[in-house]
Amino acid sequence: MSEPESTKLAFDVRHRDILAIALPASVAFITEPLVGIVDIAVIGRLGDAGLLGGLELGSVTFDLLFALVYFLRIGTAGLTAQAMGARTPDQGMSHLLRALALSLVLGLTFILATPLIRQAGTGLFAPPGPVVTAAYHEYLDMRL
């Protein structure tokens, strides 16, 4: 029994092809928290629990903000791939330009809102001392 015409694809999709796309995307998503982990390992060797606590709070805050805007990368890649597959590179370029403009606006917003983000994080996490709070603010200032 043959497949109905509506389910036949114009090209062959193999597991290897899907993995070639999905694996780098997954690795890219996983690597950002690794920066925080490396920072924690380095600061942890200094032996000051206050610095380590502030760094951890800053890392969690940054990773949360990063996850909130990661949709932009995933969505743009999908829309651009669809446009290229449909052989409409002009649409792909317009998706790219819109994403770049939005990412510029979001990036500048994060930079300008850094004091508010620090204040919100301080209120939310309630660091247990001035050393932790100072380390938290300093780490966020560096990452944002």
Q: For the chain, what are the domain ranges?
A: 14-143
pLDDT digits (tens, 9 = 90+) for 23-76: 887 887 788 778 878 888 888 888 888 889 888 888 889 888 888 888 888 888
**For the chain, how many helices (H) and strands (E)?**
5, 0
33 contacts: CB under 8 Å, gap ≥ 6: 59, 63
Question: Which residue bears the tokens 């052989």?
Answer: 87
Six-digit token string for 17 = 């092809």
Percent of the chain with pLDDT over 90: 20
The one-letter amino acid code at 52 reads: L
pTM for the structure as a whole: 0.69
Q: Is pLDDT at 100 greater than 70 in this prediction?
A: yes
